[in-house]
Copies of this chain bind each other. A is one copy, B any other.
Amino acid sequence: MRPTVHDIAAEAGVSLATVDRVLNNRPGVRSVTRDKVERAIATLGYVRDVAAANLAKGRSYPLIFILPAGENAFMRGLEAEVRAAMARSPAERTEIALLCVPAFDARALADALAEAHRRRPAGVAVVAIDAPEVTRAVKRLRDDGIVVVTLVSDLPGSARDHFAGVDNIAAGRTAGNLMGRFLGGREGPVAVVAGSMLVRDHRERLEGFEAVLGECFSARQVLPVVEGQDDATLVEKLVAALLERHPDLAGIYSLGAGNRGLVAALERAGRAKTVCAIAHELTPHSRAALLSGTIDVLLNQDAGHEIRSAIRVLKAKADGLPVIEAQERIRIDIFLKDNLPNGQA
């Protein structure tokens, strides 16, 4: 049977109250006594029953999630996962609120963070934009003891407690490696379509992609990146222009959203099968394009894992508990049409 507070009180030869004082480091315990108790804890291998402790404390965790608004299917997937987490709230002792702000708008995001601050939650999860006012807003939250986790796109210079997202440089490198190998000896340049260089994840993916092509496939020309604002209509226009200007285009790496536009442009130009397309995020559209062969590889981050991980980390950090980094690592899923899970998304 696992030891309880009573057992360690008996083992240490002190009262329950003293054990409690040590465990919850309340004042009024001589250091000799404290040592006795701590030795008893060690020898018996006592571990606090977190469930019972939470029950007794009646603790709950008010959390705020801040996501970009708009049509971006991946972000809407994230939102769906946040709502699923809300539905689990009673069981997880969380009280989750959701704020949506215009995409790529640092000012609006900073305002949303200030609003979140006013509500005094235990923690905030935010899809960050890499801008000074955002960094400052995060700092103010942290100064008030509010835990901040960045989601999907990080804010490395800031005081954020944790980043729940993939290693975007590695993602870009992976795309570069696959693109290089898939193209093999085939001629022609490679294009890159991003959402915006304002967000760090897109910058990092580009950096990784270009690095690998430069290192390992230096014969391959990479065209200057174009920014589609994660907007399908704009992306379609841009890709159509690229296809027209470069009849020998060998590949496209779409590292942001708006893949409906990418797929439409490729198919309309009749180049779906000849251009190697690598894109990000599994959505109903990108899934269909992968199965049809228009997209060759999809890199994905599991939205459900990201949200659940963020919540675990927020709760742990709010309690001052350590986080097992290895367990919270968000993996880069690589989907070919052969390993597509047949369920959701």
Contacts and interface: CB of A to CB of B under 8 A. Distances in A.
- Range class of the A interface residue count: 35 or more
Interface in A47-102: 47, 49-52, 54-55, 90-91
Nearest to A172: B338
A54 to B, nearest CB: 7
Contact of A174 (B90, B326, B339): B339
Contact of A55 (B52, B182, B325, B327): B52
A282 to B, nearest CB: 12
A157 interface: no
A341 B327 contact: no
A171 B55 contact: no
A70 to B, nearest CB: 26
B336 A174 contact: yes
A208 B332 contact: no
A322 interface: no
A334 interface: yes
Contacts of A170: 338-339
Interface in A194-224: 208, 212
A52 B184 CA distance: 60
A69 to B, nearest CB: 26
A294 to B, nearest CB: 16
Contact of A212 (B174, B208, B338, B344): B338
A173 interface: yes
Nearest to A181: B182
A177 interface: yes
Interface centre among A45, A51, A176 (most CB of B within 10 A): A51
Nearest to A183: B184
Q: 4 shortest A-B CB distances, which residue pairs?
A: A173-B338, A184-B184, A51-B51, A334-B334
9 contacts: A45-B90, A47-B91, A51-B51, A167-B339, A178-B336, A302-B331, A304-B327, A326-B343, A334-B339
